[in-house]
Amino acid sequence: MASLSPAIALLHTKAPSSNSNAPLPPQLDSDDESKIFNVYADEVDDPRDTQRSELISLLPEQVYSPDSKSIRLAFAPRRTGSATQPAAHTLDQHANGSALSVELCVDASPGCGGIVWQAGQILSNYLVHKGRDSLRGKSVLELGSGTGLVGIVAAKLDGKVCITDQAPLLDIMRRNVDLNELSHSCQVAEFNWGEPIPEGIPTPDIILAADCVYFEPAFPLLVQTLCDLSPKGSKVEILFCYKKRRKADKRFFGMLKKKFRWEEVMDDPCREIYSRDAVTLLQLYRI
């Protein structure tokens, strides 16, 4: 196994998950392994840049196995008020003395959703920061799960989780649930945005969504699904992490504000750093 270089770790975080019943975005060629870890290479800044180095420092430690095409991500909580100083103790000390880690198969053949990207890692980091008490026993639904990273982290934090995406990504999500031995607490389901809520999808206490704002035809479908899952008067908590990439993103938020209000999550000790890279973590409230 070889550690990912900082540049590759960053590249590995640049593109979004996919989910919509509109046509899928162009797929990557899974036979070209370099594409899996070098998407959007032209967007990478000079690795000596201080801002970029700070961003890399807050992402989970990553080790890639080329033989199995899997990646291991190790998470640890941060001290409040410091994005670069590790916590005095790791998350799982109360259980087995080790940090929380996730192993994921990555596969570009179903599309860019089969890769782990930046907003998913940042949202996962936040869940780790909040700890088990925030998720224990709660029904958690992830939209646009891709590899399933965020939902798998939630399941490791004792949530009762359902990860969802389009049909082409279900196999990789199932493999990753099995790889992390979470079949007892993390189910996999197909969920196409804009369609009626499928049977078997549990009523959520918490909805998680990371890097779901990028494919313009899906914008109204995602808003509709968020409305369906959080009817007026419901107390469902929605955590929504996204990276601003283009002016068209404003169209999504123009649609969203007709049904939701939102606030930036302020208790994330890493917020100051990732916000400088145009990443925002929001909590949505139905109106």
Residue numbering of the annotated binding site:
117, 144-146, 165, 193, 210
- pLDDT at residue 55, as a whole number: 82
Binding site members for S-adenosyl-L-methionine: 117, 144-146, 165, 193, 210
Using one digit for the tens of pLDDT, what is the confidence trace for 145-197? Answer: 999 999 999 999 999 999 999 999 999 999 999 999 999 999 999 999 999 99
Q: Is the pTM of this model over 0.85?
A: no
Number of alpha carbons in the 13 Å side-chain half-sphere of residue 37: 19
Q: What is the pLDDT of residue 81?
A: 46
pLDDT digits (tens, 9 = 90+) for 114-159: 889 899 999 999 999 999 999 999 999 999 999 999 999 999 999 9
Q: Is 49 exposed, middle or buried (0-12, 13-18, 19+ CB in 10 A)?
A: exposed
What span, in angstroms and rounded, lies between the C-alpha atoms of 120 and 5? 19
Q: Show me where the domains of the chain are located.
A: 2-286
Joined together, the tokens standing for residue 89 give: 């103790």
Out of 2.40.50.100, 1.10.10.10, 3.30.70.1350, 3.40.50.150, which CATH number does the structure's domain 2-286 have? 3.40.50.150
pLDDT at 25 over 50: no
Surface-to-core class of residue 96, CB atoms within 10 Å of its CB (0-12 exposed, 13-18 middle, 19+ buried): exposed
pLDDT tens, residue by residue, 61-115: 999 998 888 999 999 876 544 444 443 333 333 333 346 999 999 988 877 888 8
Question: Which of 268, 277, 269 has the alpha carbon at shortest distance from 242?
Answer: 277
The mean of the pLDDT values for the chain is: 81
Half-sphere exposure of 17 (CA within 13 A, CB side): 36
Give the per-residue pLDDT at 112: 82
